[in-house]
Each structure stands twice: as C-alpha cells, then as structure tokens.
Chains A and B, each alone.
Chain A
C-alpha cells in the first residue's frame, strides 16, 4: 500500500517540481535574471518612467518627451576602460548604419550614465568624441537626481555593481524603445545588428 502511495506522492512531487522549475525559468528559457529580463520585455513591453536627463550639451530633456521615434538606449559610465568604450564605438557605427532613419527623425540613440556624480556634460561629451561620434542622432546624458537614476535602473532592469577596483560591472545591453515609449526588446551590447533589425522591422510596419 505504501508503495502505491509513495509512487503517487512521487509523481505529484515530480509534476509539481517540473511545474515550479518551469515557472521559475519562464518555461525552461531563462535560467539567468538577464535572460529573464529580456524574455519579460519581449513578451510584455514596459512603459518607461518620466525622468529628467541632462545631456552632454547641458540641455535638460525629459525621457518621456523623446517619444514618437525609436530609441536605442544603453547604459554606461565614462571612466570605464573595458567594454563601455567599445559600446560607444558600436553606437557610433549604428549612427552610420541607421543614418537614413536618423536623418528622418525616426531613430535616436541615447547613452545614459549610471554614474552621474562623476559624469557631467564635459565627461559625456568627451566620451562621445572618443567614440568617434558622427555628430547626429546620438545623445549622451545623465539623470539629474538620484530618484531619477533609481527609476531608470529599475525601469530598464539595469544592475551595476562595484568591480572592487573603483569601477562598475553591469549588465550591458542595447535597449530598444518603441515610439510609444515602451521598452520592447533588449539585445546583446556587442550585437548592434540585432537591435538594428528590431528597429528596421518596426519602421517597416
């Protein structure tokens, strides 16, 4: 009798266990929180918070006011010597590849610093020129206050942690925001083609 009961209990545990595993991995797709973030954004686009940003030119812009065009957003800090610098180059290259839509005012690139205490307009402008900014359609900016920074980090799901050497390690990526102001896709930071595809597909619709 206890054999049958145990068998039944084990089958129930098995079913519940597989269900729980599946639930906690979005159906065995997301085993890391970064993948989970991407799956979640793809399936449920997320509205962005209204946050005030100060650009490299010193102007103040509301993130919400940038609606009406496609935004490619990445997060940086300008002291970064490793891949953030490459991120900048990738953005400059995207300026070339998306030159047409940028000229039409349909696409805008936006680099946001999560290290606003250090990254003022000067540092941001320097970052852009170091990255060979083509001069059109790319804004580098920083949030104007801590609350804004937190709202941004939460809204985009960005985690930056200290690397123990005075710098940061963060889940770098290219975030795609549609004209309605919703985060709709997240692409690897080193595969701008992927982000570009999403934008071009969106523009073609």
Chain B
C-alpha cells in the first residue's frame, strides 16, 4: 500500500476526529446552516469513507439482504430524516448523548449504508431516491422559510431563513443537474450491475 493509499484509506477516521475537535465542532454548530448543510453532510461523508473498513465477508452478507441497495437506502433515508428534525439538531447542542448519537449514527447509519448501497442501486432506485431527496430539499426549505417561530432554540430566525433559502437553492441545483444529465449528459444505466462487486 502506498502512502497515498494509506492516507485515502484513513481519510474517513481523520475527518471524523477533525469534526469532533471542540473548536471545529463549535464552529460548525454555530449556525443552523453550517450544522445542517456542512457538518452533517461531512459526517455522512465520513461514513462513506468508512466503507473500506468493512470486511469483505460482512459486505457479502449485507449484499444478500440489500438487493438493488433498497434496504440500505431506506436505512439511510430514515437516518437522514431523523437528523433533519429541528429538534435533534437543537438538542445536539444541549444534550451530550444526542451529540454523541449524531457523531456515530450519521456516519454509520447514513453515510456507510449509502456507500454500500449506492453502487448496487439501479436507475429506478437511484431515481426515486434522488427525486425524493430533491423534493425534501424544497419542502424543508419552504418549511424553514414559512415557520412563524424559531424551530431551534439555539439558533436565530435569520439563520433559519438562511438555511431555508440554501435548501431551496440546493433543490433547484439538484433538479437542474439531474435534468441536464438526463437530457444531454451521459448516463450509464447498467453501470450499477457491472460494478456490483462483492
């Protein structure tokens, strides 16, 4: 294993530890937008990068229960849903065990299942997942913008609205990107099956 490969292999845990450093943690939790759209996605990325640590045998067993990546993506969706709730993001700041739960469950139950399942998912499953994700970005963004009161006790209303606008922008960007790729780009419909190694 070259040094580069070693670094790449350990990128997940390194990022994990970095995010857990108190100054980094406080900085990324200082606003709702940062926590929701930077910290949590980065924690999910940690999980994605933890994929090489799964033993091949475990992956083999998982795959038998994860045809087309469906059960894994479902798991990731639920984990994402829970960490999208204003309540959980709010409590993570006040309650240590919630913060701990976030730092473990987002990588393990969101990022890792995505990494295991996405390559196995076919066009239709990916399509449903992406359409639902896009719709959710729009819904949450709208919700944050129209909520009459602050949804998080720890964050300002202006911050909440910034997060709302950012979510709408993400939804719009995802729609345009998907539309562009499907209309004019190259989509490898069968790629998933070929790459579905054990």
Contact = CB atoms under 8 A, between A and B. Distances in A.
Interface of A: 1-3, 5-6, 8-10, 12-14, 16-18, 20-21, 24-25, 30-36, 159, 161, 163-164, 169-171
A23 to B, nearest CB: 9
B87 A10 contact: no
B50 to A, nearest CB: 19
Closest 4 CB pairs of A and B: A17-B78, A9-B71, A159-B153, A6-B67
21 contacts: A2-B67, A6-B67, A9-B66, A10-B71, A13-B75, A17-B75, A20-B78, A21-B81, A24-B87, A24-B88, A32-B86, A32-B87, A34-B153, A35-B87, A36-B87, A161-B153, A161-B155, A164-B156, A169-B150, A169-B157, A170-B153
B65 A6 contact: yes
Instruction: Label chain B's interface by main secondary structure.
Output: helix
B74 A24 contact: no
Contacts of B91: 33, 36
Nearest to A188: B149
A6 B66 contact: yes
B67 A3 contact: yes
B75 A33 contact: no
Interface string B77-108: 11001100111101100100000000000000
B70 interface: yes
B105 to A, nearest CB: 9
B154 interface: yes
